[in-house]
Amino acid sequence: MMNWEENNILPLSRLKQAVPALAVSVMLAACGGGSGSTAGAASGELAIALTDAEGDFLAYDVNVLSLELQKANGTTVETVPLSTHVDFAQYTEMTEFFTIATVPGGLYTSAKLTLDYSDASIVIENAAEEAVEATAVDAEGNPITTIEMTVQFNDQEPLEIRRGVPANMMIDFDLKASNEILSYEPALVEVDTYLVADLQLDGEREHRARGLLTSVDKENDSFVIDLRPFRHRQGRFGSLTVNVADTTAYEIDGVSYEGENGLNVLAELDENTPVVAHGVVTMVDDVRSYNADQVYAGSSVPWADRDAVKGTVIAREGDQLTVRGRYIDHTDGDLRYHSDINVMLGDETAVTRQAADNEGITIDSVSVGQAVMVLGQGSVADDKKVSLDATNGHLRMLVSTVKGQVDTLEPLTLDVALINKHRSSVYNFAGTGVDESNDADPEAYEVDTQTLTLTDLVSGELVAVKGFVAPFGAAPQDFIARTVINPEVQPMSAALMIKWEKGSDNPFTTLTDDSIVVDTEGARQQLEFGGHRNPHVTTESYTIVPAAEQGRYALKLRGQRSIQMYQDFADFSEALAGALQETSIKKILVKGRINVETGTVTTPSVHVLMW
């Protein structure tokens, strides 16, 4: 069995493979509201959302104190109305709308993000598959409190704010580039924050908007929410129009609807009812639109009036689940990661499935390996063990992801590496089969592919399947797939990291306007396809070429709190050559399409960390 590790999560409900990027993506025309910034006649609106690229973390909760824009003349504007705890490890699959701010017009040349680590919760998984909380330290080993990081926009494309023209911004907080796990006993993580700014939208990623219902426009198939991101209960974060369609799935107060029926029920809810929407951003004739494919409202929203557990079932005995994940206390919105949360189900527990038919779904449908969101009454014991009584609550089965190596094709069986970010050895599959001999076996995990085609797959290849675990006590088969993804043939599926432990003064054999050839001698290589880390592929050199005329290229000097952005590959290459005259290279991260045989990486994104 290959020893892969989890680093990137494939986007939920997407056949396309997006470039994993931890990003703060500013998008969409605002419907009003704002962050409290001083607005003048020339003010415009800026929509900001947060997302992330995967790192080796189960949780990465820090406090975002400030996101400040700066003009060339030194004028600054704060865009965040309230300090906000954000668990960046949750945003590897999606982007969350943060705030829609009214900002004075003009050209802004940089953005400064301030993070507070004094109450951080950084959780990693050790070799024994135990979740341990780590301490964040700097390069000298000192505990970190507050970090400020400035991102310099491209000189040729500053952030321009104009009245009537919604602006966009993306800030990429890359967990992999920003953090290095030093040890597990004690658990220490060295932090050198790496942010990347982009003024382009990412239409590939799923976007989530949370807030309070303001109005419903049935004639125009839309509704408006006042944003309340990241479990905030108050504050002015602006408002957002959410467009819906006949295919939009709704869950309102635990009941499922679709299309017009769902919108009609939504229209009957009281103003300020909690709402969560999942969807995508599109651009038509320079007009941005947020289009939801899933909407949750009322008591179906975790922070409405009940405590919540979100994670993966790692064991089940009778009606008791053991869930590894996060516990949310609805009274104060506090969220903490826990290894083992006891969840009790009962005959009155309502069970639904994310964006799927719920006919015949009961508590017996919930098996080991299933991702879940459970609402109920929580309690924390003196030893800090968490329990959730959901006997009169609600369990939502979420789309789960299984990654592994193809064993056989008919039926499709996998040698499983990961289920929802966790190694297969974490799970206790007892009771999953019709009898003990048919309990799920992670080395021969049987997948019901239904009508999906497998023409691109061959034995031995890496694969990711998305769907739902088969009902408890019903295997074989073990998993019912809705999507089968071969990451080696998906566009933009590769992530490559090249790292020199003591830096390199001469890492390139070629450094030109249209290509960079990296000599990997003395470097550690880490190559992933769609989140699968493959330690068996190493190359003596890689040729990096731009995927398009404009990209997202970033250069950071180690220990400095500023990153310079470039859109043009030639400008980036020239700046890189200049930096090498003064210092050495520590790390290169490239995300794009890779040809393993030739070592060529075609990419829109290169991040370089100098020593």
Q: Which of 499, 605, 473 is nearest to 552 (CA)?
A: 605
* The pLDDT value given to residue 2: 37
The pLDDT of residue 24 is above 80: no
Instruction: Give the pLDDT mean for 23-39.
Output: 41
Same fold, 209-295 and 307-392: yes
pLDDT in tens, 444-498: 999 999 888 777 778 888 888 999 999 999 999 999 998 887 655 554 467 888 9
Q: Which amino acid is at 580?
A: L
Instruction: Give the pLDDT mean for 184-212.
Output: 81
Instruction: Give the pLDDT mean for 97-103.
Output: 83
Q: Which of 44, 137, 91, 357 is nearest to 229 (CA)?
A: 91
Instruction: Give the pLDDT mean for 18-26.
Output: 38
The mean pLDDT of the chain is: 83
Instruction: Give the pLDDT mean for 204-218.
Output: 90
* The pLDDT value given to residue 288: 74
CATH number for the domain running over 209-295? 2.40.50
CA quadruple 521, 523, 524, 525: dihedral sign: negative
CA–CA dist 447, 161 (Å, integer):
50
CA–CA dist 514, 307 (Å, integer):
53
CATH number for the domain running over 400-485? 2.40.50
Name the H helices within 52-190. Answer: 175-178
pLDDT confidence of 534, banded at 50, 70, 90? low
Fold of 307-392: OB fold (Dihydrolipoamide Acetyltransferase, E2P) (2.40.50)
Contact predicate 366/312, CB 8 Å: no
Q: Which amino acid is at 524?
A: R
Instruction: Give the pLDDT mean for 357-376.
Output: 92
CA–CA dist 538, 526 (Å, integer):
8
**Percent of the chain at pLDDT exceeding 70:** 86
Q: Where are the domains of the chain?
A: 24-198, 209-295, 307-392, 400-485, 494-610
